[in-house]
Structure 1
Amino acid sequence: MKKYLILLLVGIALHQHGNAQQAKPHHLFTAGVASGLMGGLFEGFYPVSKLLQHGNFGLGAPDKIDGELLVLNGVAYQTTSTGATRVLPGNHLVSFAMVHPFVTKRRLRAPAVISKSMFFTMLDTLMPQKNGLYAVHIKGRFKYLKTRAFPPVTSHPYPTLASMIPQQKFFEFENIEGELVGYRLPAYMDNTNISGYHFHFLSADKKHGGHIVDLTLSGVTIEIDQLESYTVELPDTEEFRHFDFHQNRAEDIKQVERGSKE
């Protein structure tokens, strides 16, 4: 009986250690490569159930670019180009995503009304290390929000994501409650990830979302987490093995982020 209890306790300890390794604090886990997504690697390869083992907070792209992906409180949400938002099942595959276990290191209230540019300027003062990795969670009321979602691709050869900009669908909201999930990543992570600011939205009623194009805040709480390391899980697919990564897609990433060629 004593031998059984020892083995049981060792098993529990190993299980807990395994979970800790999977969701390492202050560590950003990325499935896929951002420049590959920009170039047309839209096939999902990483299941949501496995992604959530690495973090409870993040964003990305669903299988075949069918809208936008957001992870909040350990739940994955998809906002499609119709505007509909739903919880993704564990077997859904993502083509690109970055997640981590969010730990609040700093919390504060934003001014009553602030524009997107003013907001980013303010965040820069709160995150002074230009080469640091930061996660940002915003919760509260937004005076104005403009989000977007891409339609799904249906057949090969897939286009580049930047060439699909004219097909994206926009959604506008006024005086809406909700949350922003986002990151500010340094320039050296461009092409593997997406440098600069990147935010996705989820409304309080979980019915609306999308990639943030523009916003005006109106009374929100800001939570910041600073990360210390990151890893990238590569797709084990035929398309990835033959993809040409020589092309610099930094400008494509910028256009897709702002939702415009200009």
Structure 2
Amino acid sequence: MKDTKTLFQHGTLALLVPGLFDGTIKMDDFMKHGDTGIGTGEGLDGELIVVDGTPYQIDGSGNVNELDSSFTLPFGNLHFADYKPFKQLSDLDFAKFPETILSAGGLENVFFSVKLHGTFKTMKTRSVYKQSKPYPTLAQCASKQHVFDGEDKSGTVIAYYAPQLFNGAAVGGFHSHFLADDHSQGGHILDFTGFTGDVELQVFDNLDQSLPTNNAEFKNHDFSKDDIEAAIKESE
């Protein structure tokens, strides 16, 4: 029986901040933990989204590529989808997205996922090209991101919310990726306007946190020297 009450996370957002981009879990092992999710590839190789059991990469050029089992990730969230209807919305903008969800009450201190499916008047996403060693920092990569603008897009948003207490382990607040139905656009969401469609919600009772304990750089890194909060804010 699929565990729909647990959010699986491999790696942490904090390890990306100083540039610990080694892939430490293979896609086939990652996919044992769910059928819906987001993440990034080794070397910060694009933005990942998993929809209906299929993992996709939006690469630095904006191409949407289906991934094979050998692809590796330094970070990702995954769960088995059991979304419940939340509400139908019209003309929602990204700036109002957080308060629209949290206004339901009782959600600020729990982990949950939001799924949007419908049409967007505009959609702005980003991705980055794969980095090579010695890896740059997350902030340096964010400054070189490639931005993609779309109009009148139909597609799916997969977003995860983590309480602020967990900022660093995850993104405190919302972390959202997009995939167009026709695969013409995707990536990490920077902005959208005019969403009309269905919103679904799935609350988790448990967080299954997997750490790359076989990676020497991770085990020996001094995170006290990193401004994790500022780096995550800049990159988001």
TM-score norm. by structure 2 comes to 0.95
2:223 to 230, 245, 249: 245
- Counterpart in 2 of 1:215? 192
- CA distances 1:10-51 after superposition (whole Å, capped 9, x unpaired): xxxxxxxxxx4xx52211111112100121111111011111
Read off the aligned partner of 2:54 and give its amino acid letter.
Answer: V
Match of 2:154 in 1: 177
The counterpart of 1:71, out of the listed 43, 46, 50, is 50
Aligned partners of 2:150 and 2:185 also within 8 Å:
no
The residue aligned with 1:15 is: none
Q: 1:114 to 1:72 in 2, by over 3 A?
A: same
- Does residue 40 of the first structure (1) align with residue 13 of the second (2)? no
Q: CA deviation at 1:62?
A: 0.9
Higher helix share: 1
Residues 185-204 of structure 1: pairs in structure 2 closer than 5 A: 185-204=162-181
1:115: how far off?
1.5
Residue 129 of structure 1 aligns to a residue whose secondary structure is: coil
CA contact (8 A) 1:179 1:204 kept: yes
What is the DSSP-based 3-state SS (H/G/I as helix, E as strand, rest coil) of the residue aligned with 1:110?
Answer: strand
Q: Deviations over 1:63-107 (max 9, x none)?
A: 111110111111111001101111110111011001111212333
Retained in 2: the 8 A contact 1:86–1:207?
Answer: no
Residue 248 of structure 1 deviates from its aligned partner by 4.0
- Partners of 2:101 and 2:107 in 1: how far apart? 11
Q: Is the 8 A contact 2:95 2:191 kept in 1?
A: no
Residue 192 of structure 2 aligns to a residue whose secondary structure is strand
- CA–CA distance in 1 between the matches of 2:177 and 2:194? 14
Matched, 1:49 2:34: no
Distance 2:60 2:88 in 1: 32
Provide Cα deviations, 1:117-174, integer angstroms capped at 9, x if missing partner: 2222211113532101110000010001000001211221x11111222210000000
Q: Secondary structure at the match of 1:76?
A: strand
- Report if the CA contact (8 A) 1:127-1:134 is conserved: no
> 1:128 matched to which residue of 2?
106
- Counterpart in the other structure of 2:209: 232
Match for 1:90: what amino acid?
S
Gaps of 5+ in 1: 1-19, 258-262
**Which segments of 5 or more consecutive residues in structure 2 lack a partner in the other structure?**
none
Instruction: Determine if the alignment matches structure 1 residue 60 to structure 2 residue 39.
Output: yes
SS state of the match for residue 86, structure 1? strand
Matched residue, 1:87: 66
Give the TM-score normalised by the residue count of structure 1. Answer: 0.86
Give the superposed CA RMSD.
1.3
Q: How many residues align?
A: 234
Amino acid at match of 1:238: A
CA contact (8 A) 2:12 2:169 kept: yes
Structure 2 distance, partners of 1:202, 1:57, is: 12
**Contact 1:26–1:102 under 8 Å retained in 2:** no
Structure (1 or 2) with the larger CA radius of gyration: 1
Q: Take 1:210 and 1:125, find their aligned partners in 2: how far apart are those partners? A: 26
Q: Secondary structure at the match of 2:142?
A: helix
**What SS is found at the alignment partner of 2:203?**
strand
* 2:97 aligned residue: 119
